[in-house]
Structure formats: C-alpha cells, structure tokens
Amino acid sequence: MTTETVRFTDLALSEPVLKAIADVGYEQPSPIQAESIPHLLNGDDLLGLAQTGTGKTAAFALPLLTRVDMKLKTPQILVLAPTRELAIQVSEAFQTYAKHMKGFHVLPIYGGQSFDTQLRGLRRGVHVIVGTPGRVMDHLRRKTLDISNLKALVLDEADEMLRMGFIDDVEWILEHTPKERQTALFSATMPKEIRRVTKRYQRDPKEVSIASETRTGENIEQRYWMVSGTNKLDALTRILEVENTDAMIIFVRTKNATVELAEKLEARGYAAAALNGDMNQQLRERTIERLKNGKLDIVVATDVAARGIDVVRVSHVLNYDIPYDSEAYVHRIGRTGRAGRSGTAILFVAPREKRLLHTIENSTKQKLSRMELPSGEMVTQQRTDQFKQTLLDTIAKTKELEFFDEMLASFSHDHNVSPEQIASALALLAQKERPLQVEFKNVKAYNERDDRSSRSDRPERGNRGERGGERGGERGGRNRSSEVESGMQRYRIEVGREHECRPGDIVGAIANEANIDSKNIGHIKLNDSFSTVDLPEGMPKEMFQTLRNVRVRGQKINITLAQESDSKGEAPKRGADFKKKPRGDFKKKRTFKKRED
C-alpha cells in the first residue's frame, strides 16, 4: 500500500480517535501522518522532517492519544513547543482529537500565565501537557509536575526551539524524563544541533520526511498570496471578481470545508458546488459533468475527490488551503492547463506556512510569483465595465423601454430634473448591496508582519551551545545594522550582559510572555546593563504593559521606547549604538542566506 492509498481506518487508531477524525472531516491521512502513525503506535522513536501545514500535529497526536491510558490521571504525554501560540494550538488539536475520550484532559502551560491557574489544572489530573520549555522546566524544578508515568515526549518545531535559545532547557527536560519514554522530534530543518540531540536522546529513531522532487507544467502560471489583513473568503471573492476565469477548482483540506465554502460562494452568487469523498461516485460524476458543460463554474474539492479530473475549461486552480506537500501541489495544479491550454494556479499561504511554500518551490524547481489582492480601483473598474455593458444591452431592448421613456420624460418635465440626474439616481438604486465603487480597508494585525524574508533569510540564532561570539552582543541574524528597519521601533530593556542575558532569552521571553511571533522580533543588541530590541511599530498598549513586567534572568525588563529615553536625556549608556549607517551598508547586510544544515 502506498501512503497515497492509506485510509485512517487502515491504521490501528482507537475508535474514539477515528470518530473524532470523521467529525472534523479529514478524508485521508496526509503523507507525514501515513508514515508516522504506524511507528508511533508501535512505540518507536521518530524523527520527522516536516513543517507546519503538513499535518504534523495530528501525525503525533492521533497515535499518542490512542496509547493514552485513561485510568491513569498523571501526564503521559508531554509536548514541548517553542511558543505559547503553538502550545495553545497543539493543545486545542489534542482536545479536538480526544473529543470522544471521556474524562480526557490536556493542559497548555506557558510563561505569562499564572502558576496558580496551571497548578489548578494540574491538580485536576491531566493526560497530556503541552508547554513551552521554560515553564515546563520551572514546574519540574518546583516538583509541581509529575512526569514519572510519562510515556512519550514530543519536541515540536525543534529547530524553532533551538533558534529561540531553548535548547539547554529542552536538554534539561530530556535528562529529567523517564529513560524508557518514547521520543518524537519534529523539525522543519535539520541543523547539526538537532542531529546531535536526536543522537543523544533518541533510540534508533525512524525517520520520516515529505521531501520529494516533482515537476509542474510550464503552461501553468503560478502565483501565491500571503494571507494577511483580509480573510481568505474575502480574498477569494476579490480574485473571482477581477481575474478572467472560465472554470475554477478550489482545493480545501476537509470534506466539511468543501460544503461550507461552496455554500458561501453560492450565497455570493457564484455557480459553485462541493466535491468530496462522502459523495457517491454517481453524484461526483454528475458534479464534474456540470462543471464541464458550464452549469457550474466553481468546484470546491478535497484532494481525494479531485484526483484525475480532466475538464478542459478549468482555467484556474486555487489552493485555498495549502497542500501537505509538493506532490499534492503538483496533482492539484495539474487540473488546469489541460489539452495544451494555459492555466493559472493560485496558492494561499498563511504566514506560518511559508516554509511549506519554500519546499514546494524547491522540489518543483519553480518560483511562484507573489501576488497582491486586486485593489479597490481594480474591482471598481471591473464592476463599472460590467455595469456599462448591462446598460448597453438594456438600451438595445427598445420595445421594452417605451413605457419607461414616456414615464421618465414626464417625470423630468414635472420635477425639473435632467435625464442625467435621473440616470444617476437609477444607477445608485441598481447597485443594491453591491456598490460599484469599492474601497478596501487593509487592516494588518500588529502581529502579522508578513515579510517573506523574515523567517527564511535568518540564520539560526540564540543557540546557547554554539554562540561563542555572542558577547559581541548582536542577535545573530536578520539585521546586524544599527539602523532601525522600516516598520520597526527600537525599545530599550533593562537587562544586559551583566545579568548573563543572551539574545535567545530576550526572544523567548518576549515571544512567549507578550505573545509576539518570534519572527516579528528584530535586531537585538546587548550592552552591559541594558539592551535594545526592535519590534514592529504600533505596539498595542496592553502588550506594552505586559512587556514592562516581563522578567528576563530574574530582571524586570521595564521596556521603554529607545528614542524616548534618548530625548529625555536618559541617553543610552556605554556600548549603545544608535547611529544610522549608510543605506547601502544596511542593504548589503540584509542579504543573509538561510542556513539549513
């Protein structure tokens, strides 16, 4: 059986877990799941090379849940994650998959949340803990977390933990867990440090990865849109308005999503239908037939249901949810550009799925071009053109207009209004809920800076083991210049080298305690008694307040705007470096290459 044909029911997962999968509407295990689940069920250690978006969370959660002993009320599974966001997300995934396991409890534990809340949760009896390394270590030290019955430990996004300076904490935890535990490590890249950890702490791990080389057709134009500021549904409808489409296949991940999205598109006036594995063969064939003969313009499908569709008028494939790997991507986009025609493939990429985009580009050996959403003017232009065409078509219906000609002529005379005024008023009325003139507000969340280079262009940083040169004080990455990058602001924090602070400590504390995505944390400069850190502009007040109380190395950081303290005469002391460097220098230094060992 190839991984492509494996079904969830072929895997020895427990009944309650299978039931939960059916509820969420997963049709088929993703490749990483099909490969990992049997090993983890078997009790083997696992080394998974997989990034976000591949379905890696379920790849470990489903088999480990199957192995949970519900009678035991102490933690049996511990997942370590680099950030509080991820810890919460993984914990929610466990909750979803354990929906039918009566009395099941999972608890996320991370910095920034009160110990008391976590202690209450722990006392209630939990089966799974998902936590950030620092806080887990604190609990273990205080003996408030009993892991004597731990069966499995998962290191999720191990390379991120390394990058954020958590590797010592992770190793400390590994040293303090039962020796006979099972260990699964997932990482998007395999730097040497991670290899070393697996060698030292894993027993003969089974290796799984999703990398494969695949080719895409040259007649297909490939673009991606980085999801930000606008939700995916609005983005899709904007694209549908402006893009010159004939028929489109939209790919989503679950059966439920095919139905939901098709319904939403229908409600917006599109001829759309769902296509999924729950539909019988006859119904599926009928749907494809309707797409062929133009009764439908959009089919919203899962990978399984759309396999092999050959409809020449499919001009566009839109990957609403990113595929699990490049192979699935190639299958999907191959639904357009049939019979020698040209086609367009559009991919929606959430900021956290950027790595998967790189994987797709690397294994298909093709770059996707970044697209912006159509602007308000473009949509206005399109709607105006359509409206004008409708007017011309209606004016041609002279016979049917006679009654209105007379009525409006007398109206014009009686009320002394010009024909233009009447026409404008009617046009305004004709718009209904779909105004011709469109203006989009593009609101970007503070935490949603989506600079494509921000993640991949940075070398690993904050790694305690290998940062011999750290005393230089620069966070080894992103921007070694002292110039504040545009869109960023420089803050001063009252912790520095004399507190034995390292850049990784700062990144970890800020990311976890204030819930700022680590990729949004810019240049860090360590000085003796204080440091500076660049953060995105426009920090919300509450976040600023939270940050003021954050402690690094036991030291309250008392964050202030660096420029502010500068102008107040509290000028940065020894070692601070606020001079602007020439632009050229800055640019040159920005071109750090990704270091993926």
| Max intra-chain CA distance, the chain | 95
Count the site residues for ligand AMP by CB under 6 A: 13
Q: How far is the CB of 51 from ligand AMP (least distance, A)?
A: 7
Site string for ligand AMP, 234-263 (x = CB under 6 A): -------------------xx---------
**319 binds ligand AMP per the rule CB under 6 A:** no
Minimum CB distance to ligand AMP smaller for 131 or for 277: 277
Q: How far is the CB of 205 from ligand AMP (least distance, A)?
A: 19
d(CA 23, CA 3): 22
Q: Binding to ligand AMP (CB under 6 A): which residues in 98-137?
A: none
Angle at 439 between CA 435 and CA 443, to 5 degrees: 135
Q: How far is the CB of 329 from ligand AMP (least distance, A)?
A: 14
Give the nearest distance from C-beta 195 to ligand AMP in angstroms. 22
Q: Least distance in Å: CB of 93 to ligand AMP?
A: 7
Residue nearer to ligand AMP on the CB measure, 31 or 496: 31
The vertex-487 CA angle with 481 and 491, nearest 5°, equals: 65
CA distance linking residue 314 with residue 273, whole number of Å: 14
Count of residues for the chain?
597
Q: Minimal distance in Å, beta carbon 30 to ligand AMP?
A: 5
Nearer to ligand AMP, 201 or 251 (CB): 251
CA atoms within 13 A on the CB side of 152: 28
Specify the residue, 58 or 535, whose C-beta has the smaller distance to ligand AMP.
58
254 vs 375, beta carbon nearer ligand AMP: 254
Site mask for ligand AMP (CB under 6 A), range 56-95, x = bound = xxx-------------------------------------
- DSSP label at residue 340: G
Nearer to ligand AMP, 53 or 75 (CB): 53
- Please give the structure tokens belonging to residue 505: 């400590």
Whether the CB-CB separation of 220 and 344 falls below 8 Å is answered with yes
HEC secondary structure over 85-123: HHHHHHHHHHHHHCCCCCCCCEEEECCCCCHHHHHHHHH
Per CB under 6 A, which of residues 262..291 are in contact with ligand AMP? Answer: none
Q: Of the two residues 55 and 473, which places its CB atom closer to ligand AMP in the complex? A: 55
In the complex, what is the shortest distance from the CB of residue 427 to ligand AMP, in angstroms, rounded to a whole number? 44
Binding pattern for the stretch 21-60 against ligand AMP, x by CB under 6 A and - elsewhere: -----x--xx--x------------------xxxxxxx--
Q: 575: helix, coil or strand?
A: coil
DSSP string across 123-190: HT--SEEEE-HHHHHHHHHHT-S--TT--EEEETTHHHHHHTT-HHHHHHHHHTS-TT-EEEEEESS-
Query: Which one, 58 or 261, has the nearer CB to ligand AMP?
Result: 58
Compute the least distance from the CB of residue 331 to ligand AMP, in Å. Answer: 15
The whole-angstrom separation of Cα 121 and Cα 114 is: 11
Let me know: does 562 contact 578? Beta carbons within 8 Å.
yes
232, 348 contact by CB (below 8 A): yes
| Binding residues vs ligand AMP (CB under 6 A) | 26, 29-30, 33, 52-58, 253-254
